[in-house]
Amino acid sequence: MHPSRSVNHNKTDADMREKLFQSICEACDKLHGRFDVSILEEVPAPGPLFAVSENTRCLEKFLEVVLMSCFLPQHQLPGPNIVMGERRRYKLETWHEKWFRHMEKYLDSTEHREHQARASLIPVFKQFNKLLKRASWFLPIYEVVDWPGVCQVFAERLLTIEYACYLLAGDTAVDISFPASRDNASVRQELGHVLTRMEEITAHVTKLWEDRRPHRQRMSCYIGFGDEA
C-alpha cells in the first residue's frame, strides 16, 4: 500500500493507518532485523516534536473526564482524531453530535439534574477539544495550541465543571446550589493554578468511578427520537 493512500486520501481511516504502520514495521524488520513495535507504545520517539509535556498530559486526562461525563455510562465514547495537524483531540461520529444537540435542545423540558449537568459540560468539551492538535502521524501525541484559551475557559466555567463532574460521577455530597454559591470572576487564571485544579477534579472523579461497581459496558449509541431532525 502506498503511504499516500492513508496519509492523503483516507486521513480518518484508523484501520488503514494501522495497516500502513504495520507495513512500515515489517519493512524495517526485513531490512534491519527485528523491530519491536511494542516499544513505541511505551516510549515516545526522541526529539522535540514528540515531547509531551506534563501540562499537556494533565489537560488530556481532564478532557477525558469531561468527555466521559457528557455521555451516559452505556454510550460508546468518541475515538481519538488521527489527522495530523488537525485541531481536534477526539473525532465525533454523527450520533455523538446528535446526542449533544439533544441534550442542549431538550434541557428546558427536563428536570433531571444529570441531564442539565451534561448539557453544561458539552460546551466545555467542545472548546477544549479544539485546543489540542495532532502532532504525530502514528503516535497518539497532541500539542496544545492555546494555553491562554485553556485558562480562560476553565476559569470562567470552573464551578459549573466541578459541580457537573462530581454529580455525574456519583458524589452524593455535592451541593445542588454549588454552581451559584460562589463568584466565577474570583477564580484565578494562572496556568499553574488551573492545572492544579484540573488535577484535583480528575483525581476525585476517577476515584468515584473506580469505587462504583459494577461498571456498565460502553456498547450503545444514541439513535434519537422520531421528532428530531
In this predicted structure, which of 40-54, 105-119, 214-228 has the lowest mean pLDDT?
40-54
Q: At what angle do helices 113-129 and 54-70 cross, to 10 degrees?
A: 140
Higher pLDDT, 187 or 160: 160
Q: Is residue 226 part of a domain?
A: no
Q: Is residue 63 part of a domain?
A: yes
Q: Is residue 219 part of a domain?
A: no
Helix, strand, or coil (residue 33): coil
Domain shared by 92 and 166, yes or no = yes
Q: Which helix (H) or strand (E) holds 127?
A: helix 113-129
Match 498530559 to its residue by C-alpha cell: 57
Domain shared by 92 and 191, yes or no = yes
Q: Which domain holds residue 3?
A: 1-43
pLDDT at position 181 is: 45
DSSP H stretches of helix in 130-190: 147-169
Q: Is residue 32 part of a domain?
A: yes
Higher pLDDT, 224 or 217: 217
CA distance 124 to 117: 11
pLDDT at position 136 is: 85
Domain shared by 84 and 144, yes or no = yes
| Cis-peptide into 179, omega within 30 deg | no
pLDDT at position 117 is: 92
Question: At 58, phi and psi to the nearest 5?
Answer: -60, -45
Q: How confident is the model at residue 34 (pLDDT cuts 50, 70, 90)?
A: low
Q: Is residue 223 part of a domain?
A: no
Domain shared by 131 and 204, yes or no = yes
Question: At 22, phi and psi to the nearest 5?
Answer: -65, -40
In this predicted structure, which of 49-63, 126-140, 151-165 has the lowest mean pLDDT?
49-63
Q: How confident is the model at residue 9 (pLDDT cuts 50, 70, 90)?
A: confident
pLDDT at position 176 is: 55
Q: Is residue 178 part of a domain?
A: yes
The total number of structural domains that make up the chain: 2
CA distance 133 to 83: 9
Candidates 140, 162, 196, 153; CA nearest to 69 is 162
Q: Is residue 68 part of a domain?
A: yes
| pLDDT tens profile 171-214 | 877 765 555 445 455 567 899 999 999 999 999 999 999 998 78
Mean pLDDT calculated for residue range 150-157: 91
Give yes or no for residue 46 having a pLDDT over 50: no
Candidates 212, 221, 214, 216; CA nearest to 75 is 221
Average model confidence (pLDDT) across the chain: 83
pLDDT at position 168 is: 94
